[in-house]
Structure 1
Amino acid sequence: MIPTFRLYLLLLGGALLVAGITFAPPLLYVALLYAGLLVGLLVADYRLTPRPAAVEVERINDSKLSIGAPNLVTLLLANRSARAVRFTLRDEYPHELPCDTPFHTGAIEPFGLHQATYHLRPLRRGDYQFGDVVLRYESVLGNFVRQARYPAAAGVKVYPNVLEVRKYDLLARKGLLQEIGLRQTRVYGSGTEFERLREYTPDDEFRRINWKATARRGQPIATEYQTERSQYIVSAIDTGRLMRPPVGDPSMDSGQGLAKLDYAINTALLLSYVATLKGDHVGLLTFADEVGTYLGPKRGKGQFYRMLEALYNIQFEPVEADYGRALSYLGLKNKRRSLVVVFTDLVTLDAARPLIANMARLAQRHLPLCVTISDPNITRFVGQPARDSQAVYTRAVAEMLLDERQVVLDTLNRSGVLTLDVPADKLTVSVINKYLELKDRGAL
């Protein structure tokens, strides 16, 4: 039990009475009476105050938290006594995970319930541990505070952002995918699988005219195709040193402040989920100086969950990525023409030459898409006015980096490699839209 300020005042009053006995001996009787009353008050307060066992505490949270997103944690308190409980609550959440509300205060009515909530926003994937829940509550008469520890230790895993997958599902069911910037996919008119014949319209491509049907019917007839299913999509993720730097402001709720690798993993995961829903095969390759994880392309949600488990604890490696080893391995393992989405980063033209050479070689069999995350800080430096010599130098370096980055992207494009270089907050939407565009065009 912890004394309150009120109890300290009562004890101070008793101490003053005892001190006064020296000057006025009759105060001894007053002091004894005061002490007896104080003891009686404390005993009554102790008996009236609910025991810790009368309060039940339960923590409710997902066993899989999403990186870069606010994950809800709920603490449910039940008062099984006939007295109200005024409390302060502290949950021993994993200290590595930023928390918006570490302490909670409130009151639980007799035989009532109380719900306290807070959010954790992890910035790194992996395994973490919750501790116990610590509750402090005042005695009925306010003389002391009782403290109780409720066992609630539990492990929790931080995964890639599975909340985005749930959000996609919800918007897809409501037909509101355009609200997050995803393009409307066409069901007909693309691909190579025959769907039906219909009258030709001025908006149709000339090559869609079915000349035999036109001759039979005496009017222009167009062939309509359905977007192909069962195509192959492989996400190849660089886990080397270039993917370690964080991007943006960690205080933002949109997921800013995550490492480039985490943005790449989140995007690859949602891309694979969308492709799975469209009946495509999805696969995964992670690599640094050596090949890390490889999952050959397969169909079905089971493959998506295998990818989720494979990605949740992938960590950085402080080495240069070996594109030759990784893409050669992929070429040996996957002979079927696939859309290979390579998530990496670019620095200089000289450093990117192995990437360019191996992506160009990959383009002979597959459709490669090189995805990089642009640095908003460099773009900001280019746009700043040059007020002094330091600003002039900073701006010149930023312009040089942007120019060299563009040279690398142009070289990749000339080698038959598709490229996307977008800010982190537009990465997922841009990659999925590119996939949908390529699928609609029948480019796979």
Structure 2
Amino acid sequence: MEFDHVRDYVQGDDYRRMNWKASAKVKKLMINQFEEEKSQPIYSFIDTGRAMRMPFEEMTLLDYSINATLVLSNAAILKHDRAGMLTFSKEIGNQVVAEKRNNQMMRISEALYHIQTEFQESEFGNLYTYANKHINKRSLIFIYTNFETLDALNRQLAYLRMLNRSHILVVIVFQNTELDELAKSSPHRTIEIYNQIIAEKFIYEKNLIIQELHRNGIQTIYTAPENLTINSINKYLEIKARGLI
């Protein structure tokens, strides 16, 4: 419930909602009127670890994630939801709590300004601890990260499962478009054949990552970096249309 307005007291109203300051000012009983909070918290968690340094079309995965976060946050606010964000690597970085403020987009933009990747592997345990302590309401959480191997996912999977129990979790898995092109090429030399086999192995590993996330009930977006923004918006609208938040 959130505060809506102050109105005259009517017999039977809950006295605990009495506004004594307003009552004293107008010399009659006044009460606070509340309405059900319908807006939902929409969070973007952006990984700033070394895995996000990978470049595509002169932009890193972090750059694509920042752009998607800005557009998604704006769309959520226009849909009367509450947008928030945080960055994380070994520790929690910049953060903006999902709130209804007129300057919320400015706060998010400022928090994302000059964000850079780090050289450490990200720690999802600290991310879970922060979310469990500070995000009390069930939220829609997009995690912009990059798992290249099944082992990398399995090291963090327990924390993702725990997050998914309390919130609606969407994990972004980036498609390596350069490897896709290499796998579809027609090799002629031995080294080209070898490179194609390695590319096919990495693509197979990505599919295993998607399957493992789905097997644990975690929603995913498997996308080429350049399509991340539109696919994030579509996923948000899909989840709202299904009434999951």
For normalisation by structure 1, the TM-score amounts to: 0.46
The secondary structure found in structure 1 opposite 2:147 is coil
Letter in 2 for 1:246: P
Instruction: State the alpha-carbon separation in 1 of the partners of residues 44 and 132 from structure 2.
Output: 13
Moved over 2 A (4+): none
Letter in 1 for 2:210: L
Other-structure match for 2:167: 366
Other-structure match for 1:26: none
Deviation of 1:329 after TM superposition, in Å, equals: 0.9
Q: Which runs of 5+ in 2 are unaligned?
A: 1-36
Letter in 2 for 1:265: I
Deviation of 1:300 after TM superposition, in Å, equals: 3.6
Q: Is the CA contact (8 Å cut-off) linking 1:247 and 1:260 kept in structure 2?
A: yes
Other-structure match for 1:321: 122
1:433 to 205, 209, 234: 234
The secondary structure found in structure 1 opposite 2:136 is coil
1:242 to 51, 61, 65: 51
The secondary structure found in structure 1 opposite 2:55 is coil
Q: Which residues in structure 2 correspond to 1:213-224 (within 5 Å)?
A: none
Q: Is the CA contact (8 Å cut-off) linking 1:276 and 1:301 kept in structure 2?
A: no
Q: Is the CA contact (8 Å cut-off) linking 1:272 and 1:282 kept in structure 2?
A: yes
Q: Which residues in structure 2 correspond to 1:383-422 (within 5 Å)?
A: 383-422=184-223
Q: Which runs of 5+ in 1 are unaligned?
A: 1-227, 249-256
Other-structure match for 2:148: 347
Q: Is the CA contact (8 Å cut-off) linking 1:233 and 1:272 kept in structure 2?
A: yes
Deviation of 1:231 after TM superposition, in Å, equals: 0.8
Percent identity for Structure 1 against Structure 2: 35
Matched, 1:275 2:76: yes
Instruction: State the alpha-carbon separation in 1 of the partners of residues 236 and 83 from structure 2.
Output: 12
Count how many residue pairs are aligned between Structure 1 and Structure 2.
209
Instruction: State the alpha-carbon separation in 2 of the partners of residues 259 and 293 from structure 1.
Output: 19
Deviation of 1:230 after TM superposition, in Å, equals: 0.2
1:309 to 94, 99, 110: 110
Between Structure 1 and Structure 2, which shows a larger proportion of strand residues? 1
2:65 to 264, 272, 295: 264
Q: Is the CA contact (8 Å cut-off) linking 2:40 and 2:81 kept in structure 1?
A: yes
Rg larger in 1 or in 2? 1
Change in Cα spacing, 1:334 to 1:270, as seen in structure 2 (3 Å) is same
Other-structure match for 1:296: 97
Instruction: State the alpha-carbon separation in 2 of the partners of residues 272 and 358 from structure 1.
Output: 24
Matched, 1:378 2:187: no
Letter in 2 for 1:230: S
**Bigger RCO of structures 1 and 2 (CA < 8 A, at least 6 apart):** 2
Q: Which residues in structure 2 correspond to 1:186-265 (within 5 Å)?
A: 229-248=38-57, 257-265=58-66
Letter in 2 for 1:347: E
Deviation of 1:322 after TM superposition, in Å, equals: 0.4
For normalisation by structure 2, the TM-score amounts to: 0.82
Instruction: State the alpha-carbon separation in 2 of the partners of residues 300 and 325 from structure 1.
Output: 27
Q: Is the CA contact (8 Å cut-off) linking 1:356 and 1:411 kept in structure 2?
A: no
Instruction: State the alpha-carbon separation in 1 of the partners of residues 172 and 206 from structure 2.
Output: 13
Other-structure match for 1:423: 224
Q: Is the CA contact (8 Å cut-off) linking 2:95 and 2:111 kept in structure 1?
A: no
Q: After superposition, what is the alpha-carbon deviation per residue over 1:254-308, rounded to whole angstroms, capped at 9, x for unaligned?
A: xxx1111010000011100000111101111100111111222112441111010
Instruction: State the alpha-carbon separation in 1 of the partners of residues 131 and 138 from structure 2.
Output: 11
